[in-house]
Amino acid sequence: MSERMRRPAPDNGLRATGRTDQAVGDRRRLRGAESRQAITRHAVDLASLEGLNGLSLGRLATDLGISKSGIQTLFRTRENLHLAVIETAERLFADAVVLPALDAAAGTARLRALVEHWIGYAEAPLFPGGCFWAANLADFDSRPGPVRDRLAHQHQGWVALLAEELRQAVDSGEVADLDVELAAFQIDAVLMAANTALRLGDRDAAGKVRRVVGELLRSR
């Protein structure tokens, strides 16, 4: 008798059980990912109002109607929660401000688009407390650690993006020669100031931003 004939038939029951276990595991992971997303999205809104330090597992559990232990299982530590919230804020900011601006031509058009989308992000606002970064950078700028590093990385990337578009504008002759690093610093500072002004009811805050940027982008 051949080896193939002697080999026992596969246990279809075990295979079916394995597939069922995998499906159950997949559904649990999906629910976990959905829960994590819902928690961090709500937490971004809270942190824009009260800062990351204002977040607590108990507050989130109460707001979302889920158990505190469930949130703790998903994030383990408060620092992990903070990092996950920053990651969600980065994604939402990119979707609202950066990605739409990429449709514009590099240089002054894209820089103006970035500024306009940023104004819309803060003026609407996307988050109830206005700019998430303005609400949290000041709290962590002197606190070394992963949370500060992640906030700093996002901020540095944003300023670098502004500088890159300014550099493109200078290299193509669209604007007069200028210190692109200084100009990017100035635009970022004006945007942060505008966020505060908007929260305090200054109806001309957006107009002031446009005037400052317009002065920086004067042609030769």
- The DSSP-derived string for the chain is --HHHHSPPP-HHHHHHHHHHHHHHHHHHHHHHHHHHHHHHHHHHHHHHH-GGG--HHHHHHHHT--HHHHHHHHSSHHHHHHHHHHHHHHHHIIIIIHHHTTSPTTHHHHHHHHHHHHHHHHTTSSTTS-HHHHHHHHHTTS-SHHHHHHHHHHHHHHHHHHHHHHHHHHTTSS----HHHHHHHHHHHHHHHHHHHHTT-TTHHHHHHHHHHHHT---
* pLDDT reading at 142 higher than 90: yes
CATH superfamily of 11-216: Tetracycline Repressor, domain 2 (1.10.357.10)
Average model confidence (pLDDT) for the chain? 89
pLDDT of the residue at 17: 56
pLDDT of the residue at 15: 57
Does 64 or 23 have the greater pLDDT score?
64
* pLDDT reading at 174 higher than 90: yes
* pLDDT reading at 7 higher than 80: no
Mean pLDDT of 35-50: 95
Separation CA 165–CA 167 (nearest Å):
5
pLDDT of the residue at 5: 43
* pLDDT reading at 31 higher than 50: yes
Mean pLDDT of 88-106: 98
Mean pLDDT of 191-201: 98
Q: How confident is the model at residue 30 (pLDDT cuts 50, 70, 90)?
A: very low
pLDDT of the residue at 34: 82
